[in-house]
Structure 1
Amino acid sequence: MAETRVDLSVAQTNMGDNTAESGNSAAGQESYSAFFYGTLMAPEVFFTVCFRLSNPPAEVRDKYRFRPAVLPGYCRHRVQHADYPGVVADAATPGREVRGAFVDGLTAENVAKLDYFEGSEYTRRTVRVRLLDVDDGSGGAEVETQTYVYRFKDNLDDEEWDFDEFRRDKLRQWVREDYVFADCDPDHPATVATEDGDEAKQS
């Protein structure tokens, strides 16, 4: 797929700020965070989306931290006829939560590329996640960040999406630039939820 220009100005809206901790802040850039629960949990996919390289140089990789985290009040299901999942709110079911990866050190350019990659099926929304201890999986600090919530609940299968299955069976093709961006439309990035919960279109 040909290189596509993405409007980076849209990425400044409401992304969880982790300036004090991030590696990118050292370069004078404003820094953001996100919670990933699907294909982007794999660093190789994240770096392919943001840099078109599944294994960029160490000086690039080291600017980002992937930490296990839990998103409460949501459920994750496979999108019909797709390799990836979507999450939707499910506050009615006690104990419902989604395990994923909290990533900080994101730049505005990264966020714009992620919006482009996720597309109009998703809304980027502010959420609170609980960081997990890497060693035993116990709970840690609760932080505010953003995640991509699926917009079309009727398009989700009943079954849970399996990350281990994705890594085993699908990861190889998802680190190919031509495959990752094949269905992306620069005119239809992810929408961004406003503070009152409405969706704002990006232009």
Structure 2
Amino acid sequence: MSASASAVQHHHNVFVYGSLLADDVVKVLLKRVPPSSSAILHSFHRFSIKGRVYPAILPVENKKVTGKVLFGITNPELDILDTFEDVEYERRTVEVSLMDSSEKLQAHTYVWSDKNDPNLYGVWDFEEWKRVHMNDFIKMTTGFVEELEQPESKPRVATYESFYNQDDQNPPTS
């Protein structure tokens, strides 16, 4: 890569507060664990969501969300995170405070799109999530990444049909 090409490569800070606090989930998504630092997002609250294992954040006066900032996220990695967070979240730029230095910096984060969602409640607990849901979540994330990496050349329908055609070659012997 030439010097001018690398100058064009933008790197982003991304504040994470839910499943992406787990390095194992980040590693599955981005194929690496970027450098990070513990951080606080002021004037937001982290909610649990009925029927989901991951949290949502929304602006709430006098609340704060602890999480971490992932540093050096590339444009392609940001695209992966956008796809992973999907339409339920909107990416916003927020100001976070690093815990070790109190330094403030700008970072992207994913804010719940529906601020009047009746399914938001309480407080989401990362330790409980790690204990109860992390292993399944990593499996789900692995499946998500495999889907992302599939070339569009073989649609799901073709996979489905070839799977069922195999059954026709071995009729049941009854």
Tell me if the contact between 1:174 and 1:180 (Cα under 8 Å) persists in the aligned partners: no
The answer to whether the Cα contact below 8 Å between 1:86 and 1:156 also exists between their aligned partners in 2 is no
Paired residues for 1:151-170 under 5 Å? 151-153=113-115, 154-170=117-133
Specify the structure having the higher radius of gyration (Cα). 2
Residue of structure 2 in register with 1:149 after alignment = 111
Q: TM-score, normalised by structure 2?
A: 0.73
2:64 paired with 1:97:
yes
Unaligned runs of 5+ in 2: 149-174
In the TM superposition, residue 174 of structure 1 has moved relative to its aligned partner by: 1.8
Secondary structure in 1 matching 2:29? helix
CA drift of 1:30 comes to: 2.3
**Alignment RMSD:** 2.4
What fraction of aligned residue pairs are identical, expressed as a percent?
29
> Could you tell me how far apart the structure 2 residues matched to 1:45 and 1:169 are?
15
Unaligned runs of 5+ in 1: 1-24, 52-59, 134-138, 186-203
| SS of corresponding position for 1:82 | coil
Contact 1:77/1:157, CA 8 A, preserved across alignment:
yes
- Equivalent residue runs for 1:1-203 within 5 Å: 28=6, 29-51=9-31, 60-61=32-33, 64-91=34-61, 94=62, 96-133=63-100, 140-153=102-115, 154-176=117-139, 181=144
Aligned partner of 2:56: which letter?
Answer: G
- Measure, in 2, the Cα distance between the counterparts of 1:161 and 1:180: 24
Structure 1 length normalisation: TM-score? Answer: 0.63
2:43–2:64 Cα contact (<8 Å) kept = yes
Q: Match of 2:43, as an amino acid?
A: G
- Tell me if the contact between 2:40 and 2:66 (Cα under 8 Å) persists in the aligned partners: yes
Residue 179 of structure 1 and its aligned partner are, at CA, apart by: 5.9
The whole-number CA distance in structure 2 between the counterparts of 1:166 and 1:180 is 19
Distance 1:121 1:165 in 2: 23
**Structure 2 vs 1, CA of residues 31 and 179 (structure 1 numbering), >3 Å: closer, same or farther?**
closer
Where 1:161 maps in the other structure, the secondary structure is coil
CA gap of 1:177–1:68, structure 2 versus 1, over 3 A, is: same
Tell me which protein shows more helix as a share of its residues. 2
Aligned residues: 141
> Structure 2 CA distance, aligned partners of 1:166 and 1:178?
15
